[in-house]
Amino acid sequence: MDLFEAIEKRHSYRGDFTDAPVPRADLEKIVTAGMRAATAKNEQVATFLIIDDAELLAQLAAIVDRPTCRTAKAVIAVVADPRPVMAGMSFAVEDCAASVSNMLLAVTALGYATVWLDGILRSEDKAGRITRLLKIPEGKNVRVLLPIGVPVEKLAQKEKLPFHQRAWFNTYGG
């Protein structure tokens, strides 16, 4: 699948996954796509933890009780190191977002599905619980989870606003 087809087909999948495995070679391709994303000052403050152990997946699903987490064959945890990298500023959120965007496209291109889980991690200390479960070093935290698998349902990307309502040349609203 070419890049523009992956962009067109990428969608947030919130349903169940089949029992089909996700080979480690594909997981490595997906994470490598994330590692190739732009980073502030090339500091590469986003790191990645690939979870494919059934027991750990079950423990994650107990924390993030969503269909995608309960049936995922793998989960990628995007870990942020919020240390400042330029003029006292951290760009961990931006670096993680760029990495996740690349990985979403890679997931789609390989025929899998996922959903960007971020907001759900911000309540009930879920990110902290996952950080501790995965033995992530102090000072770093889980920022995003990507549960991955073969979707039970084939869905299409939700309708996006047309170009002329979100993009212009030279002046805003032009």
Residues of the chain with pLDDT under 70: none
- DSSP 8-state assignment for residue 148: E
Write down the pTM of the prediction.
Answer: 0.93
Burial of 119 per CB tally in 10 Å (0-12, 13-18, 19+) = exposed
Token pair recorded at residue 103: 């990985």
**163 pairs with which residues across the strands?**
none
For strand 46-51 and strand 141-148, is the pairing parallel, antiparallel, or unpaired?
unpaired
Do residues 68 and 94 lie in contact, with contact meaning Cβ atoms separated by under 8 Å? Answer: no
Q: What is the pLDDT of residues 95-113, one digit of tens each?
A: 999 999 999 999 999 999 9
Domains and CATH numbers, the chain: 3-154 (3.40.109.10)
Token pair recorded at residue 17: 């996954």
